[in-house]
Amino acid sequence: MGSVSNGDNYVLGRSVMESVRLDGQHFIFKLQNGYTIHPQIPITPDTKIAEIGTGTGIWLLDVSSQVPPTVQLNGFDISEEQFPAQSTLPSNMTLQVMDAFAEVPAEHFEKYDVVHMRLWCAIIRGCDTFPLIRHATQLLKPGGYLQWEEYNPSRSGTYINGAEAEALYSFASMLRKELDIDPSWLVDIPNRVKKAGLNVLEFRTDPFSKACVPIVTKSLLMFHMSLIDGAYKAGVSGLPPRHEADAVLTAALHAAKNGVAQYSNPLALLAQKPLA
């Protein structure tokens, strides 16, 4: 999951536990979608692939085992805190710092055949996706592909079962409001990408498969733990006493053992930059 500029107000933190959660989310999406790279994207020995908000680099690491060793893999994030050591990476993979809300540097402009993005739903403030989508579009060569996956934490995109889960969702919604995180833009991704000049090839909103539900439930409970902890550490205004938040979270964690669940459904987009 990527990070924003303007002081890098990434409220979820970058601890070892957060890195493990991000790695786990990668395999949730892979299990749900049935692929790492979308099967419609052609891969040749000369393909160049970029990921925005690469975090731990887990998506690119998975890709590296599926493509020729000559394929160039470049991951970008506003922070290097979660990057693995360069010495542990495949020889065709690099990770570096770059702000995904800024103009693309000249050396990366229209360089990539594929750009991957995932889980910006907790990063975008005030529904302003324009800088992020512009950045992705600038990275893409004409004819290149954008692959983008998200959760949809809006009420209509969230499965909630049980009073404890409902209470946790309500609390998380209050946190999002205080952080100016409005998830309503997520279902509008195709229109926003089209306005940036890309052709939408696919937009999937299928609910999580039965096999994914137990894993994604645990992952999103971990997400809420990080969100609550990060919001209080950041001194976000308008929050109730911390013990109230901890009580809501603890109740949801205990109830999950008995089948209570709250998770957001996935979204998956594939788009292409026109050749001319």
**pLDDT higher for 133 or 226?**
133
What span, in angstroms and rounded, lies between the C-alpha atoms of 74 and 12? 24
Closest CA to 171 of 63, 57, 248, 77: 248
Q: What is the pLDDT of residue 239?
A: 87
Q: What is the pLDDT of residue 4?
A: 34
Q: What mean pLDDT do residues 113-126 have?
A: 92
Statement: residue 179 has pLDDT above 80:
yes
What crossing angle do the helices spanning 242-256 and 213-233 adopt, rounded to 10°?
170
Statement: residue 7 has pLDDT above 60:
no
Taking only the tens place, the pLDDT of each residue in 192-214 is 999 999 999 999 999 999 888 88
Taking only the tens place, the pLDDT of each residue in 214-263 is 888 888 888 888 888 888 888 888 888 999 999 999 999 888 888 878 88
CATH 3.50.50.60 fits 16-156+181-208+264-272, yes or no: no
What span, in angstroms and rounded, lies between the C-alpha atoms of 34 and 29? 8
| Contact yes or no for 271/198 (Cβ under 8 A) | yes
Q: What is the CA radius of gyration of the chain?
A: 18
Closest CA to 129 of 144, 105, 146: 146
Q: What mean pLDDT do residues 120-133 have?
A: 91
> Which token pair is 71?
């394929």
Mean pLDDT of the chain: 90
Closest CA to 173 of 161, 160, 162: 160
DSSP letters for 125-141: -TT--HHHHHHHHHHEE
Statement: residue 6 has pLDDT above 50:
no
For residue 268, the cross-strand partners are: 149, 204
Q: What is the pLDDT of residue 178?
A: 85
What span, in angstroms and rounded, lies between the C-alpha atoms of 263 and 106? 40
pLDDT band at 92 (very low <50, low <70, confident <90, very high): very high
What span, in angstroms and rounded, lies between the C-alpha atoms of 115 and 75? 10
Q: What is the pLDDT of residue 210?
A: 87
Statement: residue 5 has pLDDT above 60:
no
pLDDT band at 11 (very low <50, low <70, confident <90, very high): low
Q: What is the pLDDT of residue 8?
A: 54
Q: What is the pLDDT of residue 2?
A: 37
Statement: residue 64 has pLDDT above 50:
yes
Amino acid at 26: H
What span, in angstroms and rounded, lies between the C-alpha atoms of 31 and 206? 13
Taking only the tens place, the pLDDT of each residue in 45-61 is 999 999 999 999 999 99
